[in-house]
Amino acid sequence: MSSRVAVVTGAAGGIGAAICRRLAADGFTVACVDLREAGLADLTSELPAARGYAADLRDATSVGRAAASIRRDLGEPWLLVNAAGVFSIQLLPDLDEQEWDRVLDTNLKGPFLTCREFLPAMIEARDGCIVNIASTAGVRGGRRRAAYCASKGGLVLLTRSLAIDHGPDGVRVNCVCPGLIDTEMADWIRHDEPAMARFEAGTPTGRIGSPAEIAAAVAFLASADASYLQGAVVMADGGVTA
């Protein structure tokens, strides 16, 4: 196992890419995993300490192939960051089964598959770190996003369950719950000036968050300074849930 190899899923997205950049700057060799190959190529071209791996995180076979390639190229990773996620805004009566499955499979099944893939080596080495990117919606709920809230709430409790089960094995498992962050996922409000103004007025920090701020939280959880954090749910939301 290499203590300086990290796997980041959702690497081509706003938060995932920021995490890859921060971890590379901190000295990690980063395995960037995403289904969007063009985005991976752009990211890895700017990060010499990164390699891209295309995978559908909803599919166990695809995850297994990517994991085998990562092990072959970089060795067994010490850090896993599950940042892949999709968003959905719909009332439950309007939500079809395909959309429910898309959200739950990406946001919850994906982390289950990656954790199942990489945890055994961490347990064997009695050393490893997992950081899941959940959401404030997984703690407090939200309007018109039942599938999203269910998936992120499940990820919060998956985090805590893994921490209980595998903390004694030397594996630290924590999660970050971002609030509204300046990425494509925030387009539903970012281009609505009155709605954005209301959000900013009701937020203690008075502004939307940046992907780099979420990456900084991940970097802290992956550092030795966070050695006593286990099963922690870090609310990175500008104080909305305070």
CATH of the domain at 228: 3.40.50.720
Structural domain of 171: 2-234
pLDDT in tens, 22-73: 999 999 999 999 999 999 999 999 999 999 999 999 999 999 999 999 999 9
CB 52 within 8 A of CB 37: yes
Domain-embedded: residue 241: no
Evaluate if residue 14 carries a pLDDT over 90: yes
Residue 12 φ then ψ, to 5°: -85, -5
Domain-embedded: residue 240: no
Residue 53: active-site member: no
**Catalytic one of 53, 78, 87, 148:** 148
Domain-embedded: residue 224: yes
* pLDDT score of 193: 75
Domain-embedded: residue 239: no
CB 55 within 8 A of CB 75: no
CB 215 within 8 A of CB 22: yes
- What is the spatial distance between Cα 169 and Cα 82, in angstroms, rounded to a whole number? 20
Strands, E, within the chain: which ranges? 2-9, 29-34, 50-54, 77-82, 128-133, 171-178, 233-236
Domain-embedded: residue 98: yes
pLDDT in tens, 106-159: 999 999 999 999 999 999 999 999 999 999 999 999 898 999 999 999 999 999
Give the number of domains in the chain: 1
What type of residue is 38? A
Domain-embedded: residue 156: yes
Share of the chain above pLDDT 70, in %: 97
Domain-embedded: residue 61: yes
Domain-embedded: residue 215: yes
What type of residue is 183? T
